[in-house]
A and B are shown apart, each in its own frame.
Chain A
């Protein structure tokens, strides 16, 4: 089942789905697995596995540290794909590759897409790859049934959103605000307006991400977005209070 159909089906039972994030190999792959078990048990719908990169210029401090530490401990792209395979076999949520374009570029776009497919992934998010540079990768992805997740942002003009909308498959990642991952987003009418603008240009489901950290944020997004994307907040909780904290965090979020 494609990502869009999966999201639409899950939405029959709940109005707002949740997409969560782990940085592969940070703090360790075994910790990642524990986090994912909790995510699965609490009903997370999609998970993005971030492949660490040495120059994570779109990430905030906590993910920067996570990328750096993971690489320092020796994490390789092969390990990330192996992990993706284990994860997709073990859990029922959908799995996406998230990372920077150089990871795909170095191995070759063809192989990159094939390896996601072999590892049971549904798609990928490459925030530093603009749509102008994506035509070859998107064509390969289309052929292999792997979905490129397009990002739409508050600074995108309507003309730009139309172009992005044309390229969108599976779901769209709406970036709630300017800045990098991590800091808190003040959920305001701007976010609702952004989702509305995005919907005018795409028919795929829309996830809202950047700075989502609480049940209040979820309540705010319900009825507007299809998915809430939770990144840094979950890692922060894991670092502070491990299994207990993370379980409580997702339970409260879903309540």
Chain B
């Protein structure tokens, strides 16, 4: 299956989803980007340079780890984890960012902008910009700035300017709007590094292409290390880039089930979640440059979303997934905030792994389903990122008193320092 073969259909469409819905002023910029992307995708040297860069800079290929303790404890399927948390900057976001960084060189632009939710994409973009010598500005919702301070700290120290967006819900979607506003103004010298497989064509295809490195590696590693392919593959889905990345390695295997795990927030019926496909609350709409399922009201205005994981707290989903979901190719489930906290504790204690809150959504669903699977069946989870960045949120969730007194002590120390 090549979902990116548009020869029988409309370019940039996956079924009825996708497309380009942008102001006319950006038309020539998007055309320029599309032409450059087509050139890169057709050039084997580009991909080779990309892989080499990630090997030498980010530690790829990331390994696959067998979670023997957890598998034994659950008593069902054998659980393996693809370790994209071991990338430089701590998540899969760096794959896409390095790819777009190389592409930006071909575009000849000297400034990059990005939106960020959890801050992982912003962190990766700031890192790439430092390495490639681009000016860099990151837009981040003010709520996310507050909950992901460690990433903001790194972005700023890497030389990026971080703008806290005060509009709307002050989260990821508002950061996207603000990045678009920058882009319609500065497109002549600026490339917009969109962080997930959403937005106008060619972003869903382009981001998926760069992230496909996860699935290509994982497939090879499973065959080599385990001797066979997994039965089920789980990945968390915010916009959908890490999930697209790993799933692409298994699209042509009819007997492998692919499961996207969305943010269930406070659960079904709460209207405080970001589950577009797993719950019934989303409908098809057009916003932020593309057509897909959005969490919106009947007037077409977006609803408030929520997740303990900032990187999943988003209104829309990758248009490719809307299509694959309708076709029955990908199943969608949701994990609630409280399930995520429990799964994180379990994973830390049994395996010594600290997945990011985002990635932990994939663990929740896998942990729920593993016990009812046979012992010779195999589960693969994509650990898209590591949880270090979430220390403040996790410490709050665990109500860790020693951490609180440490922070209190630090605060006293800063307050007593002369200005």
Quick check: which of B23-31, B116-124, B147-155, B268-276 contacts chain A, the rest being far away? B23-31
- B23 touching A151, Cβ below 8 Å: yes
- Name the residue on A nearest B173 (C-beta): A55
Contact of A160 among B21, B28, B286 (CB under 8 A): B28
**Chain B residues within an 8 Å CB radius of A58:** 23, 180-181, 184
Contact present for B184 and A179 (CB under 8 Å): yes
Binds B, one of A13-21, A100-108, A220-228: A100-108
- With beta carbons under 8 angstroms apart, the residue of A105, A164, A180 that contacts B285 is A105
- Given A102-B286, A178-B184, A180-B184, CB of A54 within 8 Å of CB of B23: no
Q: Which residues of B contact A129 (CB under 8 A)?
A: 21
Closest Cβ–Cβ distance, residue B233 to chain A (whole Å): 32
A106 and B299 form a contact (CB under 8 A): yes
Q: Which of B19, B27, B186, B300 contacts A53 (CB 8 A)?
A: B300
Contact assessment for B288 and A53 in the assembled complex, using a CB-CB cutoff below 8 Å: no
| Pairwise interchain contact B20-A132, C-beta atoms closer than 8 A | yes
Chain A to chain B: the 9 pairs with minimum beta-carbon distance, closest first: A106-B300, A102-B300, A179-B185, A54-B301, A57-B177, A57-B180, A153-B25, A54-B302, A151-B24
A contact residues around B23 at 8 Å (CB): 58, 127-128, 151, 153
**A68 adjacent to chain B (CB < 8 Å):** yes
- In the assembled complex, A77 has its CB within 8 A of some CB on chain B: yes
Interface residues on B, range: 35 or more
CB of B296 closer than 8 Å to a CB of A: yes
Residue contact A103 to B300, C-beta cutoff 8 Å? yes
Contact check, B184 vs A127: say whether CB atoms are below 8 A apart: no
Query: By the criterion CB–CB under 8 Å, are B296 and A130 in contact?
Result: no
Q: Mark B27-59, 1 if CB is under 8 A from A, else 0.
A: 111000000000000000000000000000000
Question: Would you call A133 and B19 a contact (CB within 8 A)?
Answer: yes
Whether B28 pairs with A55 at a CB distance below 8 angstroms is no
Among candidates A53, A155, A157, A164, residue contacting B301 with C-beta atoms closer than 8 Å: A53
B165-205 with Cβ < 8 A to chain A: 167-168, 173, 176-177, 180-181, 184-188
A152 CB-CB contact with B under 8 Å? yes
Chain B hits for A128, CB < 8 A: 21-23, 286, 289
Give 7 pairs: A residue, B residue, CB < 8 Å, sorted on A.
Answer: A52-B301, A55-B173, A101-B21, A102-B301, A128-B289, A153-B24, A154-B25
